[in-house]
Copies of this chain bind each other. A is one copy, B any other.
Amino acid sequence: MTSEKIKHKTTFETLPTISVDCVIFGYEENMLKVLVRREFVPFQGQIYLEWKLPGNHIRRTEDISETASRILKEQTGLENIFVKQFMVFSDPNRLKNNERDYEWVKPRLEDDRVLTVGFYSLINLKDVDNSKLIEVAKWVNAYEINDLMFDHKEIFDEAFKKLRYDLLHEPLVFELLPVKFTLTQMQKLYEAIFNTTYDKRNYRRKVNKMPYLIPLDEIQTGVSHKPARLYTFDRDIYEKNRTERFDFRV
């Protein structure tokens, strides 16, 4: 083993034994959804319709979060979105456990041992142009995900667990909310993700104690009821007030 072995590599060349898979959560109308991609998988003379998480190999020049952002852009057109790694899946047989899936993926691989780094990200479906998705991908209710290819169901489950965990400890909600939002929008978002409901008065009492939630001198327009006050999230104030014990539970 000498450095002479290290040959020149092109910018887009990928690492054969590592990939990134993305669990892209989309929120709309009090529903939490996940993006899955369709694949036609021929096996023993039949063609099966299967679904998987979007993923890709890592380029030699990329940090893995750049890989995840690239996948997100390819799938949704969105840029500068928060992405977060949550776990590495490294079972040596993770691609081989299902014979049908393995037959499909084998010709696409340089090496049949591939570790994958799971990322999740959160987007607001209002920001996405879904016209390109049609037939190639779809948004599925997060509570109805099942039967994905390979170990992708397990990856999804871990992502969902981590998403909820992180939402209670980091100001992640604000990645999903518009810059100016109402307290009810914020509450509904938590309720969708945790599949529960909160008491409005108690919820408001709690979030009103957060010094980085700034009430604006602005209200909703165009709604056929009493317009709600708009709020915004001040990240600077958040960073200054952050403590070890801080917690976003509501």
Contacts and interface: CB of A to CB of B under 8 A. Distances in A.
Interface string A56-98: 0010111111000000000000000000010110111000000
Interface residues of A, number: 38
A110 B5 contact: yes
A51 to B, nearest CB: 23
Contacts of A62: 90, 92
Contact of A60 (B92, B109, B245, B249): B92
B3 A113 contact: no
A6 interface: yes
Interface string A1-16: 1110110000000010
A103 to B, nearest CB: 10
Interface in A144-201: 164-165, 169, 194
A117 B112 CA distance: 20
Interface string A219-250: 00000000000000000000000001100010
Nearest to A15: B17
